[in-house]
Amino acid sequence: MSAARTAGEIAASPVERFFQLSLLGLLACGYLAIAGSGYLSNAIVALTAAPLAFRFLIVSGLLRAELPERWVTAVTLAYVGFYPLDYLFVSNDFLQASVHLVLFLAAIRLVTAKTDRDYSSLIAIALLELAAAAILSLNLSFFIFLGLFLWFAVSTFVSWEIRRSLRSEALVSRGAARSLNRRLASAGALVTLGILLLTSGMFFVLPRTAHAAFQRLIPERYRITAFSNEVTLGEIGEIKRNSRVMMHVRVDGVDGQVRLKWRGAALGRFDGKRWFNPITPGRILNFGSQQVALADDNQLRRKGRRVNYEVQLHPFGADVMFIGGRPEFLKTNLRSLRRMPWDSFQLSYAPMDTLQYGVYSFLEDQHSESPQVPPLLVPEDAKEYLALPPLDRRIPELSARVTLGYASLADKAAALEHHLQTQYAYTIELPQTEPPDALAYFLFERRAGHCEYFASAMAVMLRAIGIPSRVATGFQSGTYNPISGWHVIRASDAHSWVEAFIPGRGWMTYDPTPPDLSPENPSLWSRIALVIDAAETFWQNWVVNYDQNRQLSLAARMDELRRRFVADRRLGIGETWEQWKAGVGEWYRRYGRSIAIAFAFLAGLLPIAAILRPWLRRRLRARRVLQGEVRTDDATGLYLHALDVLKRAGFDRAPSLTPLEFAHGLPAQAPRAIVSELTAAYNDLRFGGRRDAASRIVTLLEQLEQSVRR
């Protein structure tokens, strides 16, 4: 028998299949890294995923298909002509059109690759995909796909070299084919882990001073305008359908949920369909390295609760800062911003990177002392916040009826708030068709809507009875993440409420939207989302934004740990030993019994697993053989199983005997005929390569076991 292997044998070998799957994984990692950036549309993601699935079906043997070369050539020439049109009219961006071109080339090569030259081009395309993802993505998902990319890259190149050696005339070894795939995958994983461990130290030692410089090439792809100077009824309801993270907030000294509204803008003019503000320059606040005071002395002397918090505002097209409470001090790395007359802080432009700022705020409630405010608004502001468009006559009538019998303006405002909270339902579903009068339709016909309709209705009803009002837009408090210590505010937390001017108290906050009375039972997915968000927060703070300041902060923490260790040693060995012993005893009292029971349970499972593992392996091999999936080394495993059955019956084979000698030398009471036939089938499969003999061995094994039992 010649040692040379045919092309068909090489193609069907485990090494070839491992190589094909590794190469496919390499391309999938590059593709998923781009898809995870959020830069591609859903249609592009679906179209480019189809060739990957097609290639997987071919490699796994589930599909046998080959595209005609003429079709491939025609499609390629058509896309070459489409590329300039994509750049000029569809994408309107060179980088996005280039990413589309790379994905198209990957798709074409995936469905047509046959030769080593094709495989080389696929590897080059995978590298281009990863490079594009490095420019487009700053998310943690890129690091995950980068690690997987390294693993598949090592596995691809190692298996490629083995493929090349298998084509030579000499065959060195065939005995390890059964575990070759597992060993190759393990070797790739170990090499990848070593690369990541070696480079992670350098990664944190060397700060980056120009992170995400290539991101300037990327146009803004996610923009929300509902927090600017104009909001059309229904916009916030559309935003609430999205779960994208908009901002993170960390409150100093508080471990738990903080109930605050994060106010972005307050809108004063209403034309029946939209709220907006006039264009005004505002007052410019210049920032240096110090924080800026935003409150006067009267405000700073007020007694009440104050909080200090840090905000990370992610880029989504908003050009305002979101503030909780009444801000008294503000610190940011911006050079300047504008303080608008309606107590909002407007940026010069929507930031493309995460904006970080710190705020020291006063939290106002019903029991805090009233500030010294003018008894009334100036005439220009009063006219602004009392103006109304033409209204359905039923709206002023409803306002008067709900507030009848209340003397003070604060009580009337509270009565309107209570009426809307209790007599109407909350929903984010928009009407099927846009009504001519949205507020009248909400108040008298549908009687259900989201926060934007509740706030607009209350603001209009307040103005109808002579109380100046405006609509504030922003976010609810969000969800506290106990893992990272940050509050996560998503697009689904978008909210709007009402601010009414009450003489003697100033602008007071009212929220007429019905509260959510459903119990807060976090699901498994919500817990997983918190873990992912904590990892993403760490990635953004300590990887993407890791600069010299972060490096100094990390060094300071390490120095603090060193000082604590030295201080503990100075306390004396006896004292620290007693503290350590008391802590261990307390921990054992809490968890010792549970851990002991778990270890005992696992120790009891080990003998059972040792018995079941060989039995399960034999059963799986027999099932695979009967299904037609036969390998040459299956003969050895099946024959060893037969020897185990005979050994339990008292017939042990001596090492000096060949299989045929052992079968012929069995005593008369032994199942000599079955063993002889099984040995012949074993030789046919092991040395003759007759795969049909495998099913005969399995059948004879069953007969042998039944004979031994009898």
What is the tens place of the pLDDT at every residue in 475-499?
Answer: 988 888 888 888 999 888 889 999 9
Do 183 and 325 lie in one domain? The reply is no
Q: Is residue 480 part of a domain?
A: yes
Across 12-17, average pLDDT: 74
Count CB-CB contacts under 10 A for residue 483.
14
Do 70 and 121 lie in one domain? The reply is yes
Are 108 and 76 spatial neighbours (Cβ–Cβ below 8 Å)? Answer: yes
pTM of the model: 0.57
- The residue that leads in pLDDT, 660 or 574, is 660
Report the pLDDT value the prediction gives residue 430, as an integer from 0 to 100.
Answer: 73
- The residue that leads in pLDDT, 357 or 542, is 357
Report the pLDDT value the prediction gives residue 467, as an integer from 0 to 100.
Answer: 93
Phi, psi of 235 (to 5 degrees): -65, -45
Packing angle, helices 69-85 and 94-112, rounded to 10:
180
- The residue that leads in pLDDT, 641 or 460, is 460
pLDDT above 70 (res 402): yes
Query: Which of residues 470, 488, 518 is at a domain's end?
Result: 518
Across 76-95, average pLDDT: 80
Q: Is 446 helix (H, G, I), strand (E, B) or coil?
A: helix
Domain enclosing residue 348, as ranges: 230-518
Q: Is residue 298 part of a domain?
A: yes
Do 313 and 402 lie in one domain? The reply is yes
Phi, psi of 23 (to 5 degrees): -65, -40
Do 343 and 245 lie in one domain? The reply is yes
pLDDT above 60 (res 68): yes
What are residue 266's DSSP bridge partners?
A: 472
Q: Is 280 helix (H, G, I), strand (E, B) or coil?
A: coil
Phi, psi of 249 (to 5 degrees): -135, 130
Do 131 and 242 lie in one domain? The reply is no
Do 300 and 441 lie in one domain? The reply is yes
List all residues 6 or more positions away from 156 whose beta carbon is below 8 Å from its beta carbon: 19, 22, 23, 26, 123
Q: Mean pLDDT, the chain, as a whole number?
A: 77
Are 682 and 632 spatial neighbours (Cβ–Cβ below 8 Å)? Answer: no
Tally the domains of the chain: 3
∠ CA 142-143-147, rounded to 5°: 115
Do 248 and 128 lie in one domain? The reply is no
Report the pLDDT value the prediction gives residue 553, as an integer from 0 to 100.
Answer: 62
Q: Is residue 202 part of a domain?
A: yes
List all residues 6 or more positions away from 221 whose beta carbon is below 8 Å from its beta carbon: 38, 39
What share of the chain in percent tops pLDDT 90? Answer: 14
Report the pLDDT value the prediction gives residue 580, as an integer from 0 to 100.
Answer: 64
Report the pLDDT value the prediction gives residue 5, as an integer from 0 to 100.
Answer: 43
Are 454 and 424 spatial neighbours (Cβ–Cβ below 8 Å)? Answer: yes
Q: Is residue 566 part of a domain?
A: no
Query: pLDDT tier at 270 (50, 70, 90 boundaries)?
Result: very high
Q: Is residue 569 part of a domain?
A: no
Query: pLDDT tier at 211 (50, 70, 90 boundaries)?
Result: very low
Query: pLDDT tier at 550 (50, 70, 90 boundaries)?
Result: low
Report the pLDDT value the prediction gives residue 624, as an integer from 0 to 100.
Answer: 65
Do 65 and 152 lie in one domain? The reply is yes
**How far is Cα 15 from Cα 158, in angstroms, rounded to an integer?**
10
Length of the chain as a residue count: 710
Do 276 and 174 lie in one domain? The reply is no
Q: Is residue 553 part of a domain?
A: no
Closest by CA position to 310, among listed 494, 545, 522 = 545
pLDDT tens for residues 644-686? 888 877 888 887 788 888 887 787 767 878 888 888 888 887 7
Are 386 and 479 spatial neighbours (Cβ–Cβ below 8 Å)? Answer: no
Do 192 and 62 lie in one domain? The reply is yes
Report the pLDDT value the prediction gives residue 567, as an integer from 0 to 100.
Answer: 58
Q: Is residue 543 part of a domain?
A: no
What are residue 307's DSSP bridge partners?
A: 361
Across 12-34, average pLDDT: 83
Query: Which of residues 173, 206, 239 is at a domain's end?
Result: 206
Do 154 and 189 lie in one domain? The reply is yes
pLDDT tens for residues 291-346? 788 887 777 777 888 899 999 888 777 788 999 988 999 988 788 888 888 888 88
Do 484 and 348 lie in one domain? The reply is yes
Taking the CA atoms of residue 611, residue 614, residue 615 and residue 621 in that order, the dihedral angle to the nearest 10 degrees is 170
Complete DSSP assignment for 402-418: HTTT--SHHHHHHHHHH
Query: Which of residues 464, 486, 518 is at a domain's end?
Result: 518
The sheet carrying 479-481 orders its strands as 292-293, 326-332, 355-363, 305-313, 245-251, 486-490, 479-481
pLDDT above 90 (res 39): no
The dihedral built from the CA positions of residue 234, 235, 237 and 238, taken in this order, carries a sign that is positive
Q: Is residue 487 part of a domain?
A: yes
